[in-house]
Amino acid sequence: MLEKRLIELLTRKMAGELSSTEFLELNNILLSYPEALQEEEIFRKIWDFKPEAEDIALFYERHKNEHKNALVFAEERPSITASKTRLIKYRLFSVASILAIIVIVGIFGYKNSFSKDSFKQIIAGKGVRKLLTLPDGTKVWLNADSRLSYDPAMTEVKERLVTLTGEAFFEVAHDKLHPFIINANKVTVKVLGTAFNIKAYPGDAKCETTLIRGSVELTVNDGSKQKFILKPSEKIALIDEDDDNKTKENDHLRKGKTLLIENIVPVAAEDGEYIPETSWTENRLVFENETLEEIALKLERWYNVKISIESLEASSYHFTGPFTNETIEQVLTAMQLIKPFKFKINSNDITIH
């Protein structure tokens, strides 16, 4: 059933008929089964194929006879013009061709493509950060409460595909012939060889990509097909917002979304300057004019705790500064010196009031 549904959704996507609900459904499948990204690429190539006219007509008639009870064909709708009929015939041919090719792809392992054994998944739980090296030599720093899926045979395929949920810093091994592609829920990032950070936690309003060196191509996964090229020391943030917060500068974006492109600004401290977006790879937690409500999410992942903020006033307090190797109690105590609030720690549960 899952394979069949994937085929249906990919077909509708290529035809430009995917609804917002179906888009979310397709994206969830791709996140859960990263290997399905390969099938999406196959669909794209097949959809671009332009067959001969006589082949279309022959295939159409055969397809009509086989599925006449399940489909309503153009001849049964007198109001449809001849040009629309040709379009319908071509689409039927394209859909049928895709279904046929998918069966053929089974020879190369499609039947097992949804087996999680074919892709390897690395998980960093809350309070844990990991450094790993992928088969192609790419180094990945995986932040707390994150997971990365990749193909152990990535060096043997045309594209090096990985899926990220959470946050990771990549130092991608350069390979001009085999692009490195990261699917991170709201965005897809394509690179040849570079160093950058992606933050894409489920439930977070903001999804960020920060480029340190090299070049990346970012595509927004909302059906708009917007593409952006980032330069070193730039970051791009996709923010989900209420319509009331939408600015005129972002009217071209989809409803309820804001896209920001800006330069990286280091945070100055007594012992030096720190880049908030990547300092976590050095086991350093850096805040830059962030509210206590925003910081609480980071602290929960960093220390594997649960934080409840009972004071509305305290949740809006802003903080800036770095922390290295401090305990959660030490961090909160230091923040108390800047803004007045109280906290209580009970095992892994923390209440702020």
Same domain, 73 and 190: no
Tell me which H or E stretch contains 185. Answer: none
Query: Residue 75: left if φ>0, alpha if ψ -120 to 50, beta else—which one?
Result: alpha
Same domain, 11 and 97: yes
Distance (Å, whole) CA 159 – CA 38: 9
Asked if 228 and 249 count as a contact pair (C-beta separation under 8 A), the reply is no
Same domain, 232 and 325: no
Tokens of 89: 């015939």
pLDDT value, residue 123: 93
Walking along the chain (353 residues) 10 residues at a time, the average pLDDT comes out as 71 68 72 61 55 50 53 45 51 51 44 56 93 95 95 90 95 92 91 91 90 91 82 90 45 61 86 88 92 94 95 93 92 94 93 93
pLDDT value, residue 221: 82
Same domain, 212 and 289: no
Which of 62, 91, 112 lies at the terminal end of a domain, its last residue?
112
Same domain, 132 and 240: yes
Same domain, 54 and 82: yes
What tens digit of pLDDT does each residue of 163-188 get? 999 999 999 999 988 999 999 988 99
Same domain, 125 and 79: no
Same domain, 93 and 161: no
Which of 46, 81, 112 lies at the terminal end of a domain, its last residue?
112
- Expressed as residue numbers, the domain containing 126 is 120-263
Same domain, 87 and 106: yes
Same domain, 246 and 289: no
340: domain CATH number?
3.55.50.30
Same domain, 133 and 254: yes
Distance (Å, whole) CA 185 – CA 171: 20
First CA to last CA distance, the chain: 49
| Phi, psi dihedrals of residue 25, rounded to the nearest 5° | -60, -45
Distance (Å, whole) CA 335 – CA 305: 17
172: domain CATH number?
2.60.120.1440
pLDDT value, residue 246: 41
Helix 20-32 and helix 2-14, axial crossing angle in degrees, nearest 10 = 130
pLDDT value, residue 71: 46
Q: Into how many domains does the chain fold?
A: 3
Same domain, 245 and 280: no
Which of 205, 240, 263 lies at the terminal end of a domain, its last residue?
263
